[in-house]
Structure 1
Amino acid sequence: MRLHVVSGKGGTGKTTVAAALALALAEEGRRTLLVEVEGRQGIAQLFETEALPYEERRIAVAPGGGEVFALAIDAEQALLDYLQMFYKLGGAGRALRKLGAIDFATTIAPGLRDVLLTGKACEAVRRRRRSGGYVYDAVVMDAPPTGRVTRFLGVNDEVAGLARVGPVHKQAQSVMRVLKSPETAVHLVTLLEEMPVQETVDGVAELRAAGLPVGSVVVNTVRPALLDETALADAARDPEAVAQALATAGLGAARGAAGGTPTKAVRALVAPLLEQAREHAARLELEGAERAEVAALGLPVRELPLLAEGVDLAGLYLLAEELRKQWTE
């Protein structure tokens, strides 16, 4: 696969996953391009760099010497590129920009913006060196959320149907050949919560119905299981044993008491701790049900851990290493 499209419900961390995947795919001297299409500059924030211009710029070096480049696609500039490529407008294209014709065109034909964005990404996928090899080993697109991604990716089918002949028709067909090829995969990011999982299930169905290739599901921010049901049941049956265990571990043992006798204050902690443990166990049960929904999709599932300190640049590299391990299993 050479084009990895990453989508997911808002708030699931799809931009973080896209960035980590680009790093993971850049191992051992490979080159990847990370593409942003929504103009949020989320990639720049993750890599702690200045706002990305409309040009491909190296933003990170992966373990093993690989490189990650990034591109924030600007629809207006992409339209100028398109006009120059097919119609050789030159200075006339710049004049159109000054007159506001480009804003007018993308406003009256909203689908045109998506055509330009997907077209630019696919051009990067197909681009070759003079020696014949690809410029980028992989392209990762931080795509729109799950509710919009199928229409976003399928807009070229609509355009090809409207424009039966000419360069617009050829360009739309060319883009769809890339998007529907075995070299492309749409990965969906979710959390183990009801709404994100349901949106993932719906998104997979929509993508399949549109003939777009679904890759894998990435379950983000997975919390560790601290207690199993047996441990919780044992603790609930004998709260005094919990108090004793806390004292033995050095929490509030009575001064000078043999064997770490728990104090009154420690015993007072037991009930709130058990309540938290019950809440944790209930959450694990709900997460288990959502995990089963994800597994039922029949797709490869990758899981990324919750980073307690949040996702900074170091955390991004940790997530990339985790993805790299799971992608090669």
Structure 2
Amino acid sequence: MSRLHVVSGKGGTGKTTVAAALALALATEGRRTLLVEVEGRQGIAQLFETEALPYEERKIAVGPASEGAAPWGASGAPSAGDPARGGGGRRAGGEVHALAIDAERALLDYLQMFYKLGSAGRALKKLGAIDFATTIAPGLRDVLLTGKACEAVRRKDKNGKFVYDAVVMDAPPTGRITRFLNVNDEVAGLAKIGPIHNQAQAVMRVLKSPETAVHLVTLLEEMPVQETADGVEELRAAGIPVGGIVINMTRPALLDNGDLDIAARDARGGVAKALSQAGLGGARRGGLAERLIDPLLEQAREHAERVELERAEHAELTALGLPTYELELLPEGVDLAGLYHLARDLRKQGPI
């Protein structure tokens, strides 16, 4: 099982939501997960309906109950007395901690870890040297972000056990995910010796090992699917393990195959008959039934075309040879209860 789950996807596909749901899904039976944000958008705090995350690891939720354990409420989310809300209630499930990584603070950690600068590092911050360093060397920011996440993956307690059973990273979009993860390879090549070289190599050992899996989030639409396929190809070429594909915001099938075939062609007679049987009167000129026929046929044709497109895009994703997971579109939007609903759906579909 992978321990570092990197979640990426084209903008608008819901990658932050999927990352949060995955962190919840992995936090089961006492397991601890860390949900990491690297883009500074505070999307995790918004999803979990909490205040902005500081640069520290903070418990924000508990995992959904396992089968046979004490149930959650009908909504699927913890009630006001549960640990996820800061109360003292007890429920089955593990813990979800969250961290919003700040590149500047991560650099101070780095300087302290390898160079023991202490107060000198804080002085550098006051002088603006850290901002200067991350600005003139944009790749340094990605080195710090990935390094902090990998440190959480490797961290152990005093008993030699991993502090976190899994780390989930809400990563940059698919278009730059390979460069983001592969930046330490470039750094290791530039710095041939010393602590920077050693740190970069240590990070890449994690990112290119079975401990890591990059999951790509997509919609059943042409552009997200094409970007997903391109992302898979780039990740494979870089030697970074690809996990699965999460098809987000899927829609229920409203018509079976037979009805879809009918909807794809003109079926005025059948629609008129059905309206008449529904008590809306015959299809006389100007009558209610007659006015409904064309709009109904147009909606049916649009739905049939949409289903045909989605099936074609689904086939493209299947051809990539990766596990796929599907999450339904939540009509009311994604609130905390919806997040737990998605987490349960992920768990039902098997390990990810």
TM range (shorter): over 0.9
- Please name the residue that 2:77 is paired with: none
Report the alpha carbon displacement of residue 228 of structure 1 after superposing the two structures with TM: 3.1
The change in CA–CA distance for 1:157 and 1:237 in structure 2 (over 3 A counts) is closer
Letter in 1 for 2:117: L
- Please name the residue that 2:348 is paired with: 325
Aligned length: 321
Is 1:69 paired with 2:97?
yes
- Please name the residue that 1:59 is paired with: 60
- Please name the residue that 2:37 is paired with: 36
Q: Deviations over 1:161-218 (max 9, x none)?
A: 1111111011001000000010100000111111111111110010001000000011
CA distance in 1, matches of 2:158, 2:238: 35
Q: Deviations over 1:84-124 (max 9, x none)?
A: 11111111111000000000111111111000000000000
CA distance in 1, matches of 2:301, 2:48: 38
- Please name the residue that 1:154 is paired with: 182
CA RMSD of aligned residues (A): 1.7
Q: How does 1:284-323 map to 2 (within 5 A)?
A: 284-323=307-346
- Please name the residue that 2:147 is paired with: 119
The change in CA–CA distance for 1:81 and 1:270 in structure 2 (over 3 A counts) is same
CA distance in 1, matches of 2:272, 2:98: 54
Letter in 2 for 1:133: K
Quick check: 2:267–2:297 contact (8 Å CA) kept in 1? Answer: no
Is 1:221 paired with 2:249?
yes
- Please name the residue that 1:49 is paired with: 50
CA distance in 2, matches of 1:171, 1:38: 22
- Please name the residue that 1:208 is paired with: 236
- Please name the residue that 1:101 is paired with: 129
The change in CA–CA distance for 1:26 and 1:102 in structure 2 (over 3 A counts) is same
Q: How does 1:109-188 map to 2 (within 5 A)?
A: 109-188=137-216
Report the alpha carbon displacement of residue 240 of structure 1 after superposing the two structures with TM: 4.7
Letter in 2 for 1:121: A
Give 4+ residue runs of structure 1 displaced > 2 Å after superposition.
Answer: 232-249, 261-264
Report the alpha carbon displacement of residue 247 of structure 1 after superposing the two structures with TM: 5.7
- Please name the residue that 2:271 is paired with: 242
Report the alpha carbon displacement of residue 274 of structure 1 after superposing the two structures with TM: 1.4
Quick check: 1:240–1:267 contact (8 Å CA) kept in 2? Answer: no
TM-score (norm: length of structure 1): 0.93
> Equivalent residue of 1:33, what SS?
strand
Q: Structure 1 stretch 300-309 or stretch 240-249: which is displaced more?
A: 240-249
Structure 2 residues not aligned, in runs of 5+: 65-91
Report the alpha carbon displacement of residue 321 of structure 1 after superposing the two structures with TM: 0.6
Is 1:17 paired with 2:52?
no
- Residue identity over aligned pairs, in percent, reads 78
CA distance in 1, matches of 2:267, 2:103: 64
Letter in 2 for 1:66: G
CA distance in 2, matches of 1:246, 1:135: 63
CA distance in 2, matches of 1:67, 1:248: 56
The change in CA–CA distance for 1:213 and 1:238 in structure 2 (over 3 A counts) is closer
Q: Structure 1 stretch 59-68 or stretch 297-306: which is displaced more?
A: 59-68
CA distance in 1, matches of 2:23, 2:46: 15
Letter in 2 for 1:274: L
Structure 1 residues not aligned, in runs of 5+: 255-260
CA distance in 1, matches of 2:155, 2:275: 62
- Please name the residue that 1:258 is paired with: none
CA distance in 2, matches of 1:198, 1:237: 33
Report the alpha carbon displacement of residue 234 of structure 1 after superposing the two structures with TM: 4.3
Letter in 1 for 2:198: K
Report the alpha carbon displacement of residue 304 of structure 1 after superposing the two structures with TM: 0.7
TM-score (norm: length of structure 2): 0.87
Letter in 1 for 2:230: D
Q: Deviations over 1:219-241 (max 9, x none)?
A: 11111121134214446665454
> Equivalent residue of 1:327, what SS?
coil
- Please name the residue that 2:220 is paired with: 192
- Please name the residue that 2:294 is paired with: 271
